[in-house]
Structure 1
Amino acid sequence: MPLNKAVLAAFKAATRLRPDIKDFYEAQRFAEDIMARMAIPNPRCRIDEAHAVMPDGYEVPLRVFTPLDFDFSLANGLKVCEDSRGTVLFFHGGGWVNGNVDFYLDACTTMAIKLERRVVSVDYRRAPEHRFPQAPEDCYETARQLFAGNLLPDVDPHNIVLFGDSAGGNLATVVSLMARDRGTFSPRTQMLLYPVTYNDHAFTTSWFDSVRDNGEDYLLSWRDIEGYMDLYQASPADRSNPYFAPLLAPDLSGMPRTLMLTAEYCPLRDEGEVFAQRLADDGNDVACYRILDAVHGYLLYPPVFSIVRDTYRIMKHFLDDEELKQEGEPAWLGLLGTD
């Protein structure tokens, strides 16, 4: 499905004018902080602050988004109550370097309302100040405490969903791997949106055609991904670690029920779909969809965009274990035998 020519031209110009991410990430953080201040609170969602204490004493900030239901009657007036069917533990994207809970405030608010679930957003420590494996260890320990009932008093561990986009999708499935390997808790469900799963995104050496097809003109370039990985790794040897690149894990059995969502014009598209197939081949319950006419990072778009609406529709059907049917013009491709 071709993108609008004017939009594509804008994407190409923005991608090719962007400086090296290793020189630019601090300026990008500054811009993201300014954009985050423009977020307008939504009365349908309550936002609270919390934290998780790490083994080294550091307090990882958390932001908790609780969807609200409003009921008005002449007899009883306005009644506000929580409208949550579970908890989503969310790990934000940004190449392990950019992004934070402030920048994702609108996205997490929309997520809580659309999915009818409380969202706990994790402000894990970022590279290059804190390189691998700090981010996955922060996320793992936060998840461990949430599953143990030590963070929020009313969380049902059976209804906790791990979710992340981009580098956050990497962290979500790495937390699942860590939990399986360490035997500490058992996530039942994970959702991965255009995740990073492999360790090589160079134009000439990558295994994946989407790196070459989509790695130059669609906002996130292959150079960006390689730059982020250079900032994230503590040493080149880290790239061979499955907790860095989960597609390298020799065994993916015993993983949670998984929803994989990729974007048609994303350089990470193919590795996400191959990872989904690996999960399925190793005996896991997997659904995989490719969102058509979408580029990397679209979760941050306003919910009026059809690709955002379709994504939340797919997620909600997956979480509610309901049949999903295509309506009107194709908006997504179902893979791994899904409709």
Structure 2
Amino acid sequence: MAINPVVRAALKALSYPDISIKKHYKLQRRLVDVTNLHLLKPLYTSFDHLIQVGDHQIPARIYTPELPGSEGALLFFHGGGWVTGNIDSYDRVCTDLARKTHRLVMSVDYRLAPEHRFPAALEDCYAAAREVFLHPEWVFAERAEDIALIGDSAGGNLAAAVSLMAKDRGEFMPTRQILIYPATYNDHTENSPFPSVRENGSDYLLTSKRVQEYMELYQGSEEDLQNPYFAPLLAEDLSGQPETLLITAQYDPLRDEGEEYGRRLAKAGVRVEAHRATDGLHGFFSLPASFEQVAECHRLIDRFLKEGLA
């Protein structure tokens, strides 16, 4: 289904001017904080927690469902290009996730670039996952197998990278991951092998130029570009990765690389369920739960967690 021409024109106008994130990332952070300010907090039970790792602490926020039970938990990594976003800006997303899936959600406030470049955010997410998977009772789960990783955009990248790192380090291993329009590749210029970078890279709010700048702020060195923990699609061996629910968006520059990651996982013998949100734009999962695309995501996530993949 094509986007209404009036809506398309409005999206194109909103995509310009495409200010330089590299120059104005602090302004972008403030805009994210303001646009996600909730004057009326949704009704939920939550509490903040600090995870001590070495010489620093990783803040996390735990959301409990309205009817808590023993169905398991979700470890959530937020989006924002590794540069913006925090547990406050994702309050509503995580509240809705806990409410709609009837599971506890722990949201991780990892360190942001460029003050903390790769692999700082990933190491924070891995450390949080390690603590939760080795101590599932912290999130009121009976078993580590009852905990799933989930992330959107940059958070989807981090979730995938945590799973890769977990397999390599051998301390724990997630059994399920939910990747929502994840960034999985290292090139979003005109040279990208993925058509969606060009097809959806200028007129749908998130531009390919902005994605490229986010990645440049995140990377610590040129060598990072070839690191599978930075760009999971570069991993040579994807066998043994968790069962994966992959959700992409039709009008997203990251669409094709996300779907290719799903195909690569499946080719390696991993169970994968892939869904593309028709007419979806990058970031739609942050909309209120009443939006049909978001509601459908919640249904897919709930079913995936309850039934797994056949």
* TM surpasses 0.5: yes
> Would you identify which runs of 4 or more consecutive aligned residues in structure 1 move more than 3 Å?
none
1:301 matched residue in structure 2: 287
Measure how far apart 1:18 and its partner are: 2.6
Percent identical pairs in the alignment equals 48
Measure how far apart 1:83 and its partner are: 4.3
1:106-121 equivalences in 2 (<5 Å): 106-121=92-107
1:30 matched residue in structure 2: 30
2:272 matched residue in structure 1: 286
> For the residues of structure 2 that align with 1:309 and 1:153, how far apart are their CA atoms?
24
Measure how far apart 1:153 and its partner are: 6.2
Structure 2 residues without counterparts, runs of 5 or longer: none
Structure with max Cα Rg: 1
2:59 matched residue in structure 1: 61
Contact residue 72 and residue 140 of structure 2 kept, 8 A: no
> For the residues of structure 1 that align with 2:109 and 2:308, how far apart are their CA atoms?
32
Q: Relative to structure 1, is the Cα distance of residues 140 and 322 closer, same or farther in structure 2, using a 3 angstrom cutoff?
A: closer
Q: Please give the TM-score of this superposition, normalised by the length of structure 2.
A: 0.96
SS at 2:253's partner residue? coil
> For the residues of structure 2 that align with 1:143 and 1:303, how far apart are their CA atoms?
26
2:257 matched residue in structure 1: 271
Contact residue 67 and residue 116 of structure 1 kept, 8 A: yes
2:47 matched residue in structure 1: 48
Measure how far apart 1:5 and its partner are: 2.0
Contact residue 39 and residue 106 of structure 1 kept, 8 A: no
SS at 1:114's partner residue? helix
Task: Tell me how large the CA RMSD over aligned residues is.
Answer: 1.5
> For the residues of structure 1 that align with 2:239 and 2:278, how far apart are their CA atoms?
29
2:144 matched residue in structure 1: 157
Contact residue 73 and residue 139 of structure 2 kept, 8 A: no
Measure how far apart 1:20 and its partner are: 1.1
SS at 2:2's partner residue? coil
Structure 1 residues without counterparts, runs of 5 or longer: 70-81, 324-337
SS at 1:152's partner residue? helix
How big is each residue's C-alpha offset from its partner over 1:60-107, in whole Å with a ceiling of 9 and x where there is no partner?
A: 1000010113xxxxxxxxxxxx24521100000000001111000011
SS at 1:96's partner residue? coil
2:175 matched residue in structure 1: 188
> For the residues of structure 2 that align with 1:162 and 1:99, how far apart are their CA atoms?
18
> For the residues of structure 2 that align with 1:153 and 1:310, how far apart are their CA atoms?
26
Q: Which amino acid aligns with 2:14?
A: A
The answer to whether 1:124 aligns with 2:114 is no
Measure how far apart 1:150 and its partner are: 7.4
Q: Relative to structure 1, is the Cα distance of residues 103 and 151 closer, same or farther in structure 2, using a 3 angstrom cutoff?
A: farther
Q: Please give the TM-score of this superposition, normalised by the length of structure 1.
A: 0.88
Which residue of 236, 251, 258 maps to 1:250? 236
How big is each residue's C-alpha offset from its partner over 1:269-311, in whole Å with a ceiling of 9 and x where there is no partner?
A: 0011110000000011111111101000001111111111111
